[in-house]
């Protein structure tokens, strides 16, 4: 667990990246044994991390107090992305059941949304909660394209959209409908922008492998803009997070890519497995947890995340 792991390390592409990392910090492999690890979410009050192991139909839990790892939930409905709402509750995207759920403080699981205009979602993939409590999620078809991460089925909606769920009214609205396969998403620190990844290249060599940046309307209900913010130079951007200074830390084929607020690639954290998602955690939110294919990695940074229940 300690020491330098082969295939890991920082790559400084622009000098500003040096200010965001710790040179003497090394990437640790905290756990291995999954098939496709995704959806890390940090629970500050309990000092633990939850993440998904999608093909194994389970969610895992890393206890930061003693380093132990255990099964958090199994079966998990092939859960994928996870987030935390303003009350510190777990919000989960489920492939098999094609829905978004919330786990209450009493442990009960509530279905927040499972359809749009009467038709079932494809397979909700990733989720983020805005400061106003609204829940934003993406709906690509990965859970219905194959039985490995869900169950093969036809799309009822016939498109892959990004949605906003309003917990006050239970309304679901489509906020972006021009994506091929929308995937990871995160707000800028001031929530003026919403960044959304498109992994259309997974099934089309000419498809998108980029992150787009949308402007959030003043009432926090709709999006405009949506220009390409950054294109991935290795594999695809899947899940990502934004730090307090507005830098994006994104999954990519060769590790984690750090993008400046202007969309420039400033540095990388090399990881020897394809990375699917990341999440800031630890008591100071200065540790990046990295879900990468079979393993959970972590590295301390000189950058801090933003807690959703701040």
> Restricting to residues 264-293, which ones interact with Mg ion according to CB under 5 A?
none
Task: Report in angstroms how near the CB of residue 278 gets to Mg ion at its nearest.
Answer: 11
Nearer to Mg ion, 37 or 285 (CB): 37
With contacts defined by CB under 5 A, name the span among 83-91, 98-106, 117-125, 259-267 that binds Mg ion.
Answer: 117-125
Task: Report in angstroms how near the CB of residue 262 gets to Mg ion at its nearest.
Answer: 24
Tokens of 46: 């309990």
Task: Report in angstroms how near the CB of residue 64 gets to Mg ion at its nearest.
Answer: 23
How many whole angstroms separate alpha carbon 275 and alpha carbon 256? Answer: 7
> Restricting to residues 229-258, which ones interact with Mg ion according to CB under 5 A?
238-239
Q: How many CB atoms lie within 10 A of CB 33?
A: 12
Nearer to Mg ion, 103 or 251 (CB): 251
* CA 250 to chain centroid: 9
Give the phi and the psi of residue 20 in degrees, each rounded to 5: -100, -5
With contacts defined by CB under 5 A, name the span among 97-105, 122-130, 164-172, 219-227 that binds Mg ion.
Answer: 122-130
The answer to whether 126 contacts Mg ion (rule: CB under 5 A) is yes
Name the one residue in this structure whose structure tokens are 């990881």: 271
Nearer to Mg ion, 125 or 134 (CB): 125
Pairing of strands 99-103, 109-113: antiparallel
Task: Report in angstroms how near the CB of residue 237 gets to Mg ion at its nearest.
Answer: 10
> Hey, is 209 helix, strand or coil?
coil
> Hey, is 65 helix, strand or coil?
coil
With contacts defined by CB under 5 A, name the span among 4-12, 150-158, 182-190, 258-266 that binds Mg ion.
Answer: 182-190
Task: Report in angstroms how near the CB of residue 183 gets to Mg ion at its nearest.
Answer: 4
How many whole angstroms separate alpha carbon 54 and alpha carbon 149? Answer: 6
Nearer to Mg ion, 92 or 125 (CB): 125
How many whole angstroms separate alpha carbon 125 and alpha carbon 223? Answer: 19
With contacts defined by CB under 5 A, name the span among 22-30, 123-131, 188-196, 253-261 that binds Mg ion.
Answer: 123-131
Residues in contact with Mg ion, counted by CB under 5 A, come to a total of 5
Tokens of 3: 């020491």
Task: Report in angstroms how near the CB of residue 168 gets to Mg ion at its nearest.
Answer: 27
Nearer to Mg ion, 8 or 183 (CB): 183
Query: What does the chain come to in residues?
Result: 310
Task: Report in angstroms how near the CB of residue 80 gets to Mg ion at its nearest.
Answer: 6
Count Cβ neighbours within 10 Å for each residue of 217-250 and write b for 16 or more, e otherwise.
eeeeeebeeeeebbebeebbbbbbbbbeeebbbb
How many whole angstroms separate alpha carbon 60 and alpha carbon 43? Answer: 13
Give the phi and the psi of residue 200 in degrees, each rounded to 5: -55, -25
> Hey, is 69 helix, strand or coil?
strand
Nearer to Mg ion, 9 or 207 (CB): 207
Nearer to Mg ion, 27 or 185 (CB): 185
How many helices (DSSP H) and strands (DSSP E) are in the chain? 1, 27
Nearer to Mg ion, 87 or 231 (CB): 231
Task: Report in angstroms how near the CB of residue 277 gets to Mg ion at its nearest.
Answer: 6
Nearer to Mg ion, 36 or 48 (CB): 36
Q: Which of 8, 78, 183, 250 is close enough to bind Mg ion by CB under 5 A?
A: 183
Q: Which of 122, 125, 274, 286 is close enough to bind Mg ion by CB under 5 A?
A: 125
Q: Interface residues with Mg ion (CB under 5 A)?
A: 125-126, 183, 238-239
């Amino acid at each position: 667990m300690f020491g330098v792991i082969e295939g890991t390390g920082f790559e400084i592409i622009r000098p500003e990246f040096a200010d965001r990392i710790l040179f003497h910090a090394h990437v640790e492999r905290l756990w291995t044994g999954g098939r496709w690890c995704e959806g890390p979410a940090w629970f500050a009050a309990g000092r633990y991390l939850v993440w998904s192991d999608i093909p194994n139909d389970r969610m895992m839990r890393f206890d930061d107090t003693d380093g132990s790892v255990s099964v958090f939930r199994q079966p998990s409905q092939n859960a994928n992305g996870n987030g935390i709402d303003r009350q510190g509750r777990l919000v989960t995207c489920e492939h098999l059941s094609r829905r978004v759920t919330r786990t209450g403080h009493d442990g009960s699981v509530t279905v927040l949304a499972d359809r749009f205009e009467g038709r079932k979602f494809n397979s909700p993939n990733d989720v983020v909660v805005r400061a106003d409590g609204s829940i934003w999620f993406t709906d690509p078809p990965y859970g219905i394209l194959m039985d490995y991460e869900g169950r093969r089925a036809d799309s009822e909606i016939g498109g892959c959209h990004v949605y906003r769920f309003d917990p006050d009214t239970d309304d679901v609205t489509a906020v972006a409908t021009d994506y091929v396969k929308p995937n990871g998403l995160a707000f800028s620190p001031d929530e003026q922008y919403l960044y959304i990844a498109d992994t259309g290249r997974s099934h089309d060599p000419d498809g998108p492998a980029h992150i787009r940046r949308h402007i959030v309307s003043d009432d926090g209900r709709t999006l405009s803009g949506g220009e390409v913010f950054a294109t991935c130079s290795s594999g695809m951007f899947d899940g990502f997070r934004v730090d307090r200074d507005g830098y994006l830390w994104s999954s990519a084929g060769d590790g984690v890519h750090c993008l400046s607020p202007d969309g420039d690639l400033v540095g990388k954290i090399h990881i020897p497995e394809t990375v699917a998602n990341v999440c800031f955690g630890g008591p100071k939110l200065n540790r990046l947890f990295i879900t990468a294919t079979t393993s959970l990695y972590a590295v301390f940074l000189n950058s801090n995340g933003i807690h959703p229940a701040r």
